[in-house]
Amino acid sequence: MAYDYIITGAGPAGCVLASRLSEDPTVRVLLLEAGGGDWNPLFHMPAGFAKMTKGVASWGWETVPQKHMNGRVLRYTQAKVIGGGSSINAQLYTRGNAADYDLWASEDGCEGWDYRSILPYFKRAEDNQRFADDYHSYGGPLGVSMPVSALPICDAYIKAGQELGIPYNHDFNGKQQAGVGFYQLTQRNRRRSSASLAYLSPIKGRKNLTVRTGARVTRIVLEGMRAVGVEVVTERGSEIIRAEREVLVTSGAIGSPKLLLQSGIGPAEHLSAVGVKVQHDLQGVGSNLQDHLDLFVISECTGDHTYDGVAKLHRTVWAGLEYVLFRTGPVASSLFETGGFWYADPDARSPDIQFHLGLGSGIEAGVEKLKNAGVTLNSAYLHPRSRGTVRLRSADPSAPPLIDPNYWSDPHDLKMSLEGLRIAREIMQQDALKPFVMAERLPGPKVNTEQELFDYGCANAKTDHHPVGTCKMGTGADAVVGLDLKVRGLEGLRVCDSSVMPRVPSCNTNAPTIMVGEKGADIIRGLEPLPGAIFAHERNDIRPRARSDIR
């Protein structure tokens, strides 16, 4: 059977496209997902995130040795389940800074993707529990709500940030981004609101939408310079499925360039080197990889102030019952519900450090777990200058890709990352946290010099799971797609996911990826763009007046 549109991955953008395009009953849409369904209860319990970075529903990939980090190889969790990253992430709803998108337009040539132009698509997606103003809306598919299982240590952290000179902010997606406070979460009725649950579950009955799981797309089929379908591998073997209108690549910032390269679309010299026949020489495919690298402080608590103790069997059972019966307790927590944005560089255009307060130790894979209750404060530098690549390991589509974020290749990124870590350490030492925090265990009081902090970072840093940019949108010679998301030089083929972002937004990337899906759906359907946002007040971030203001 032929379809009008074939969508190559059921991540956040793919779910949005499947929902929006199938609103027209005359259009036949096929959504393909290599992973399985989200039937496991862990996908819907907010605290299920703790299991996800440890391998549940992921490809199991890792980076190549990072030459600027003492050869460190990092785990690189990429989702393999319907809903993609939105089904396994920590559910933080952040959109970034207005300056991010204005730079897309002014410096990256992405006219029409400035903040005023894209804000209406953020709002269209949103069903906000609390806010309805210039920046927020309700009634959309995506549930957005406040945390329900915050602990007293969360309030103490917010006070500690203010003691250090970082103001309280009730809405990181509103008039200003800078400050400390509670994150809003992609949850509805105290359950995860993934893109699958938000965009696909309500339309299960649409006869013109077919969703297939366990179907790995290995190649885009080209006839001349036009994409006419895809090759799919399932347990039953391989098959060719034709697309009458377009193939829409939505396999993520790693999966999308991998698929294009497997199809012979990319840098000719690389394709020839790994034995893939060159179909279309497009130099930018797989380049421009950007990601947020995370450094963390772990402190031991003075008592049972976080959720570490819930790991004991009897408490795990009780926590599960509490959630099933009342939708409260530890299971209703995303475990990272408090945080904020501030400046490592006081002269930065906008906040350049993001904090996540983790209600425990060893929450994510590869992070040390303390014997007693602990608390984690993550810090990530948001404006990386380093650029990496995604390349093929071989011509075999089943082979893992070569993922090289090239962390700290620009010395400025290292300098700012270590400064963010220092600020995180200072927050944890403020008076407001003294009743809760006994002592810093990582990096530990003996780690203080630049070299010691560098070595600690090399040994312990982790990805924040925010890769973007590998199928860059723009008008320059290195762009892979145009402003209409069409792959340059080919017909019938677009890319629509986080890989088209020319630079990484200053935030978690789930909400921006959903925005790309929403705007992309209108572009594909030929609809007029939504009217640009009109503000009662301009967005304007608080800034540190002097270096002493964050000390």
CA dihedral 423, 425, 427, 428 (to 10 degrees): 170
Q: What is the mean pLDDT of residues 30-34?
A: 98
For the chain, state the CA radius of gyration: 22
N-to-C CA span, the chain:
64
53 vs 113 pLDDT, higher one: 113
pLDDT at residue 132, as a whole number: 95
Ordered by where they begin, the domains of the chain are: 3-525 (3.50.50.60)
CB-CB contact of 63 with 76 (8 Å)? yes
- Position 547 pLDDT exceeds 70: no
Strands (E), 267-413: 280-281, 293-301, 336-342, 353-358, 374-381, 389-391, 402-404
pLDDT tens digits along 370-381: 889 999 999 999
Q: Which of 136, 270, 292, 466 is catalytic?
A: 466
Residue 270 bears catalytic tag: no
pLDDT at residue 206, as a whole number: 97
pLDDT tens digits along 72-91: 999 999 999 999 999 999 99
- Position 551 pLDDT exceeds 50: no
- Contacting residues for 313 by C-beta, under 8 A, at least 6 apart: none
Q: Give the closest residue to 204 by CA, choosing from 214, 196, 192.
A: 196
pLDDT tens digits along 219-278: 999 999 999 999 999 888 899 999 999 999 999 999 999 999 999 999 999 999 999 999
CB-CB contact of 535 with 98 (8 Å)? no
pLDDT at residue 548, as a whole number: 45
CB-CB contact of 149 with 332 (8 Å)? yes
pLDDT tens digits along 372-426: 999 999 999 999 999 999 999 999 999 999 999 999 999 999 999 999 999 999 9
Helix 411-428 / helix 450-460 crossing angle, nearest 10 deg = 90
Residues of the chain above pLDDT 90, percent: 84
pLDDT at residue 211, as a whole number: 98
Locate 165 and state its tokens.
Answer: 């000179």
pTM, two decimals, is 0.96
**Range 169-174, long-range pairs (CB < 8 A, 24+ positions):** 169/340, 169/341, 171/131, 171/135, 171/136, 172/94, 172/340, 172/341, 172/507, 173/93, 173/94, 173/95, 173/122, 173/135, 173/136, 174/131, 174/133, 174/134, 174/135, 174/136, 174/539
pLDDT at residue 540, as a whole number: 74
pLDDT at residue 122, as a whole number: 98
Band (544; pLDDT cuts 50, 70, 90):
confident
Please state, rounded to an integer, the average pLDDT across all residues of the chain.
94
Out of 205-219, 321-335, 468-482, pick the least confident.
321-335
Q: What angle do CA 173, 472, 528 make, to 5 degrees?
A: 65
DSSP string, 20-85: HHTTSTT--EEEE-SSB-S-SGGGTSGGGHHHHTTTTTB---BBPPBTTTTTB--B---B-BTTGG
pLDDT at residue 56, as a whole number: 75
pLDDT tens digits along 431-445: 999 999 999 999 999
323 vs 137 pLDDT, higher one: 137
What is the C-alpha separation between 405 and 63, in angstroms, rounded?
A: 7
Q: Give the closest residue to 480 by CA, choosing from 289, 349, 229.
A: 289
CB-CB contact of 121 with 135 (8 Å)? no
pLDDT at residue 163, as a whole number: 98
DSSP letter at 406 equals -
